[in-house]
Amino acid sequence: MEDMILIKQGELVLKGLNRRSFEAKLIGNIRRRLKPFGEFKIYSVQSTIYVEPQSGGCDMDGAYSAVKTVFGIVAVARAVACEKDKDAIFEAARRYLGDELSRAKTFKVEAKRSDKSFPMTSIALSQYVGGMLNDLYPHVGVDVHHPEFTVHLEVRDYAAYVHSPSEEGAGGIPVGMGGKVVSLLSGGIDSPVSTYMIAKRGVTVVPVHFFSFPYTSMQAKEKVVELTRILTQYCSRLKLEIVPFTHIQEEIREKCPEELFTIIMRRFMMRISERIADYNDCTAIVTGENLGQVASQTLAAMAVTEECVSMPVLRPVIGFDKREIIERAVKIGTMETSILPYEDCCTVFTPRHPRTKPRLDEVTEAEAALDIKALVEEAFANIESVIVEVS
């Protein structure tokens, strides 16, 4: 019995006249994500996307895991199709879910009938198949409120489908429908989560990392490449822009007041990110800043930081507790890499007493000692672009 994958769309069903374009983008993203796992027929009917293997060599386990990381999907289930007949549906349930049923202590059957020409109501079909399964597995009790295992039946336009409980999808909107941004990606915990969250809203991401060799090691650089690789599960292929930042930090240390090192450094990051954004047709900058977490992330400091650019600066995790960020990092798989002990450029030349409420006039006065335009262009001209593919 050949199984398939049923995919339930999330908020795409609310998109009105734009829904077809969102759905087409989602199907395209699914198709690209499943390419390594074999040849599949992918199509959509009645807000459900069907993924059918076209050869015996398809890796269904790999495909099933992969589709759960595609934004725009709210739920995923392995299923089997059968004839729209009550006995055929029972037989499919017996053959496809028999092992799970035999191991369960209690079960119930839930049916949905979107094809109203089917002669039985949803309740009647549930009762019929449930009764037949109960006769077949008398040791498994029936519990309609809190069952250990649920058999799901769907009678749709082209066939009936039997599946076990769905698993949660990534949610959000298909990547490619929400514009394009640059996202600052350090080696820490917050920025990968921030990048993930903006991508979840359908945004195409260009990750940007500031690298200060030899003050930060090559291991720190590889750590960020690995974080980017993990994010490709959700964002697809990414172009990581690695910016040489050593000269700028040395100039700041030599010519600017120590208590303003961090805020001036972050203003350079904004300027360079805007330059990269313009080059890549992006319309916003994304950071992993979290309000009040460190000295450079007070409201006053963030206002001064973004004053030097004209495009919007988005901060997806700004209101999160650290615990919430860590929980999300664990869920998306970046946490173990983020906590590897390789420091990023933000730890270089850290002031002993950073200014938490900097004034714009004093910061711009301090920056007057620097050739800002030349430093930005030098860094931009020496960017290393690394293409990171979905593994």
Question: What confidence tens digit (pLDDT) does each residue in 289-312 have?
Answer: 998 877 778 898 999 999 999 999
CA distance 9 to 23: 9
pLDDT score recorded for residue 324: 96
Query: Over the stretch 50-59, which tens digit does the pLDDT of each residue have?
Result: 999 998 889 9
- Residue 276's pLDDT is what? 98
pLDDT at 346 over 70: no
The helix-helix angle for 322-332 and 190-200 (nearest 10°) equals 70
Provide the H-helix boundaries in 163-259.
190-200, 218-235, 246-255
Pick from 313, 109, 137: nearest CA to 305: 313
pLDDT tens digits, residue range 199-237? Answer: 999 999 999 999 998 888 899 999 999 999 999 999 999
When pLDDT is averaged across residues 229-249 and rounded to a whole number, the result is 95
**Per-residue pLDDT averaged across 100-106, rounded?**
93
Alpha carbons 177 and 20: distance in angstroms, whole number: 12
The helix/strand/coil state of 1 is coil
Burial tier of 148 (Cβ tally within 10 Å: 0-12, 13-18, 19+): middle
| Calpha distance 15→355 (Å, rounded) | 46
Kindly tell me if the per-residue pLDDT of 252 is higher than 80.
yes
How much is the mean pLDDT over the chain?
A: 92
Confidence class of residue 345 from pLDDT cuts 50, 70 and 90? low
Per-residue pLDDT at 329 exceeds 90: yes
- Residue-wise pLDDT for 13-59, tens only, equals 777 778 889 899 999 999 999 999 999 999 988 788 999 999 888 99
Residue 322: how many CA atoms within 13 Å on its side-chain side? Answer: 5
pTM attached to this predicted model: 0.89
Cα–Cα distance, 185 to 276 (Å, whole number): 14
Q: How confident is the model at residue 180 (pLDDT cuts 50, 70, 90)?
A: very high
Q: Which residues of 59-89 are buried (b: 16+ CB within 10 A; e: fewer)?
A: ebeebbebbbbbbbbbbbbbbbbbebebeeb
Q: Which own/partner contact pairs does 377-381 have at CB distance under 8 Å and 24+ positions apart?
A: 378/247, 379/243, 379/244, 379/245, 379/247, 379/248, 379/268, 379/272, 380/243, 380/272, 380/275, 380/276, 380/279
- Per-residue pLDDT at 257 exceeds 80: yes
Residues 5/76, Cβ–Cβ less than 8 Å: yes
Q: Is the pLDDT of residue 347 over 70?
A: no
